[in-house]
């Protein structure tokens, strides 16, 4: 399938926002002060990197403060503290807690994101030949290509495209996802449910809508009881040829490059980017908003807290280069034996 056609199909799965809304209206629902006020109407909310004209975005993470002056968004939610770093004439919505403001505006644009009606006919396109168990539920806006094999007690949809020759096991739940050709999804795996996103307001958490998708390439395989969260504003992306063991969690907005393999009980936190041909051992924990390069090897039970350059081999917690980790282990063993 050509890339342009894939993008067009993916766009049919994405929920449509309410609006457009004036800056005054968005200011009222957040309690924000508007700096550089103009008559801009906002059509959507997006992250700081992908936002375009007509979007509003937000900057809260210190890593991304410099993006205030680079983003193509028409308006930006920022803290009073970061206002002094903004060298732009674009409108700024100033708040003590920009993340909470983002949560309120995102909910305003997408108020019905959790609602879906079960249907076996509306907006569905199921090719033949294929085998779909009679105990599986097909919800709205689902396309299943030819030669699919879907097991018992699955839930497919809403907003799902499954490519040719895909094998879906029993008790699998897939929603808000584009899955390429020749996929294998083993029993009990859940794809495309909400990521873990909340904004704290004093002693109460406000849920942040998760409006992106899970987008998988071709020849991807997931083991049993994995969970792959849909993106918050954009997509969680799994490249071609990725192979994932049982009991792996992939959080929202994670991107995994082609032909990466991940062993069981690994957890990858949100917005981390993992390159191509990476090998990740069992029980690895990877923190959020990190960059893992191409051809990296991560040893079992490693705790990754920093970026890893391409071709590095790391192990330990916190993860360091393998040679250093082995030296530390030898020195520590000698110290223990000497004093034991």
The answer to whether 94 and 83 have CB atoms below 8 angstroms apart is yes
Whether 252 is a known active-site residue: answer yes
Cα–Cα distance for residue pair 243/241, rounded to 1 Å: 6
CA separation for the pair 61, 148 (Å, rounded): 42
If residue 7 lies in a helix (H) or strand (E), which one and from where to where? helix 3-11
Q: Which of 37, 206, 249, 252 is catalytic?
A: 252
HEC string of 57-78 equals EECCCHHHHHHHHCCCCCEEEE
Q: Are 168 and 149 in contact (CB under 8 A)?
A: yes
CA-based torsion, 35, 29, 45, 292: positive or negative: positive
Which residues neighbour 270 within 8 Å (Cβ) at sequence distance 6 or greater?
195, 196, 197, 229, 232, 251, 252, 253, 254, 288, 289
The secondary structure of residue 125, as a DSSP letter, is E
Residues 174, 234 contacting (CB under 8 angstroms): no
Mapped onto helix, strand or coil, the DSSP state of residue 143 is: strand
Residue 246 is classified by DSSP as S
Bridge partners of 160?
142, 177
Active site positions, annotated: 252
């Amino acid at each position: 399938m050509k890339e342009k056609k894939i993008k067009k199909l993916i766009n049919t799965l994405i929920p449509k926002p309410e609006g457009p809304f004036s800056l005054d209206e968005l200011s009222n629902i957040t309690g924000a002060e508007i700096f550089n006020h103009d008559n801009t109407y906002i059509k959507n909310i997006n992250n700081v990197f992908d936002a375009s004209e007509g979007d509003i975005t937000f900057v809260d993470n210190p890593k991304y403060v410099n993006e205030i002056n680079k983003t193509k968004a028409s308006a930006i939610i920022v803290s009073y503290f970061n206002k002094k770093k903004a060298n732009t004439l674009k409108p700024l919505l100033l708040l003590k807690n920009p993340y909470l403001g983002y949560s309120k505006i995102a909910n305003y644009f997408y108020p019905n994101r959790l609602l879906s009606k079960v249907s076996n006919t509306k907006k569905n396109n199921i090719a033949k030949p294929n085998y779909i168990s009679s105990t599986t539920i097909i919800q709205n806006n689902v396309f299943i290509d030819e030669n699919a094999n879907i097991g018992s007690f699955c839930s497919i949809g809403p907003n799902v495209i499954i490519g040719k020759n895909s094998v879906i096991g029993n008790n699998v739940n897939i929603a808000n996802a584009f899955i390429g050709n020749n996929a294998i999804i083993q029993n009990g795996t859940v794809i495309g449910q909400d990521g873990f996103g909340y904004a704290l307001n004093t002693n109460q958490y406000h849920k942040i809508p998760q409006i992106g998708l899970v987008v998988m390439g071709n020849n991807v395989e997931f083991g049993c009881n994995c969970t792959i969260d849909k993106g918050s504003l954009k997509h969680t992306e799994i490249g071609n040829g990725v192979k994932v063991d049982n009991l792996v969690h992939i959080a929202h907005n994670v991107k995994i490059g082609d032909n990466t393999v991940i062993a069981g009980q690994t957890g990858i936190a949100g917005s981390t980017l993992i390159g191509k041909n990476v090998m990740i051992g069992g029980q690895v924990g990877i923190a959020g908003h990190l960059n893992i390069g191409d051809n990296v090897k991560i040893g079992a039970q490693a705790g990754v807290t920093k970026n890893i350059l391409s071709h590095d081999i790391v192990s330990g917690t916190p993860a360091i280069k393998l040679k250093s980790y082995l030296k530390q282990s030898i020195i520590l063993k000698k110290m223990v034996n000497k004093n034991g």
